[in-house]
Chains A and B, each alone.
Chain A
Amino acid sequence: GIQVEQSPPDLILQEGANSTLRCNFSDSVNNLQWFHQNPWGQLINLFYIPSGTKQNGRLSATTVATERYSLLYISSSQTTDSGVYFCAGKAAGNKLTFGGGTRVLVKP
């Protein structure tokens, strides 16, 4: 399977700040997803984005498939954005592989 690396591993933000999370993958992917795991442990599907750009409220994501990375943007962060953000990628014929996550803490 592919390797998925996320950076940074930890991020502390002041409420209202913007941030960018990065996901690098070792091979071409036909499936790339971003998830948020909230402090209660729930895994929420944020984006399915094998290529291109999508936006959902204060969150947006961009995947540059040819360069094997994806970015998740959080704008005007809120305390409810705290948690762990995972990206997961899948190459043809392989399993969806999760990165190690970026732990985000938004302080009021």
Chain B
Amino acid sequence: DAGVIQSPRHEVTEMGQEVTLRCKPISGHDYLFWYRQTMMRGLELLIYFNNNVPIDDSGMPEDRFSAKMPNASFSTLKIQPSEPRDSAVYFCASSPLRVTGELFFGEGSRLTVL
């Protein structure tokens, strides 16, 4: 399997612009997670889906952030409007349905908001 695929790998944008990050989970994995990593806060869980349904979005920082999973092979994380404090590496991860719950991460999307 190709693993979790994220795009873009790098994004530089200006404050106020809309940012869309994309993720393709590992085929057959029923759980999908979005994490954010910063120096100050480490790895934070933003939201996760089970069978395409959002289960817990309590980590989403504010209304400017939204995430969707229209089908089992695709998810987006959108920030609108973006702010400099959103600069971070955003990771998508997936996990199989089975009890183990092992996480497999994508390579991340590094976002810089100027």
Residues of A within 8 A of B (CB): 31, 33, 35, 41-45, 48, 86, 88, 90, 95-96, 98, 100-101
Contact = CB atoms under 8 A, between A and B. Distances in A.
Interface of B: 42-43, 45, 48, 56, 89, 91, 93, 100-105, 107-108, 110
Contact of A96 (B42, B91, B101): B101
Nearest to A42: B107
Contacts of B93: 43
B105 A98 contact: no
Contacts, number: 39
B103 A96 contact: yes
B42 A33 contact: no
B101 A90 contact: yes
Given A98-B43, A100-B42, A31 B101 contact: yes
A90 B48 CA distance: 14
6 contacts: A31-B100, A33-B102, A33-B103, A35-B103, A41-B110, A88-B103
Mostly, the A contact residues are strand
Nearest to B105: A43
A41 B104 CA distance: 14
B42 A98 contact: yes
A41 B89 contact: yes
Contacts of B107: 41-42
A41 B39 CA distance: 12
A36 to B, nearest CB: 11
Contacts of A43: 91, 93, 105, 108
A48 B45 contact: no
Contacts of A31: 100-101
A86 B89 contact: no
B43 A41 contact: no
A19 B36 CA distance: 29
Contact of A45 (B45, B91, B105): B105
Nearest to A1: B45
A84 to B, nearest CB: 10
A86 B42 CA distance: 10
